[in-house]
A and B are shown apart, each in its own frame.
Chain A
């Protein structure tokens, strides 16, 4: 059974940093692109970043470029999102998701990031 479990969310002050993790199991992690998608509670979905199977390609939404870094450790079946320079508008539930052919077939349960003083 495919499982994705996010962790690392919490309350952080504006300008602060946070590192999210996603532990993957039930599939060959190194064979899949992975993604982070976020959602302000009660609002729509926003794609944040994608990373290729071997980490050699990364893509970001403009609003996080230069502040967020997606990475992975295939030996540990783990996906990460390093978030620096956090802003109030980054407050959201962050989901990790497995990329199928561009769509997202599997999602984690999400981790809430709250940016507030």
Chain B
């Protein structure tokens, strides 16, 4: 199975900050990578697919990059509603696998 490793596991940031979360795959997954945002008690919400394509309705302050094994999710000008946990997921092969998550909380 392809292992997805996110870093950091958690971070503290302030409103207006730029935040970067990385996701590394244990083998190449081309661009078959998605990013999700999850708030407590809620289902995950798709932010990005194909590594860098913004899901419809997601604010443009979110951006994604990378291919192969190394990927990045960037949130520009962090807003209060962005404090949440973020997960990456590969869909290059079965079993589908997720990163362990990165919790973004208020500094």
User: What is the interface size of chain B, counting residues whose CB is below 8 A from a CB of the partner?
Assistant: 23
Which of the segments A8-16, A73-81, A83-91, A98-106 contacts the partner chain?
A98-106
Judge whether A47 and B97 touch: CB under 8 Å.
yes
CA distance A106 to B13 in the complex (A): 28
Judge whether A105 and B46 touch: CB under 8 Å.
yes
Which A residues are CB-close (under 8 A) to B45? 107
Q: Is the interface of B mostly helix, strand, loop or mixed?
A: loop
A–B Cβ pairs within 8 angstroms, 30 of them:
A44-B87, A44-B98, A44-B99, A44-B100, A44-B101, A45-B36, A45-B87, A45-B89, A45-B101, A46-B98, A47-B95, A47-B96, A47-B97, A50-B96, A60-B95, A62-B1, A95-B43, A100-B49, A101-B50, A101-B91, A102-B96, A103-B34, A103-B46, A103-B91, A104-B36, A104-B46, A104-B89, A105-B49, A105-B55, A107-B43
Judge whether B46 and A110 touch: CB under 8 Å.
no
Judge whether A110 and B43 touch: CB under 8 Å.
yes
Which B residues are CB-close (under 8 A) to A116? none
Which A residues are CB-close (under 8 A) to B34? 102-104
Give B residues with C-beta under 8 Å from A: 1, 32, 34, 36, 43-46, 49-50, 55, 87, 89, 91-92, 94-101
Is A59's beta carbon under 8 Å from chain B? yes
Whole-angstrom distance between the Cβ of B97 and the nearest chain A Cβ:
7
Whole-angstrom distance between the Cβ of A37 and the nearest chain B Cβ:
8
CA distance A45 to B100 in the complex (A): 8
Which A residues are CB-close (under 8 A) to B36? 45, 104
Is A7's beta carbon under 8 Å from chain B? no
Judge whether B43 and A103 touch: CB under 8 Å.
no
Interface centre among B44, B45, B50 (most CB of A within 10 A): B44
Judge whether A102 and B32 touch: CB under 8 Å.
yes
From A59, A101, A104, A105, give the contact of B95 (CB < 8 A): A59
Q: Known contacts being A44-B100, A47-B96, A47-B97, is A102 close to B91, with CB within 8 Å?
A: yes
CA distance A95 to B87 in the complex (A): 15
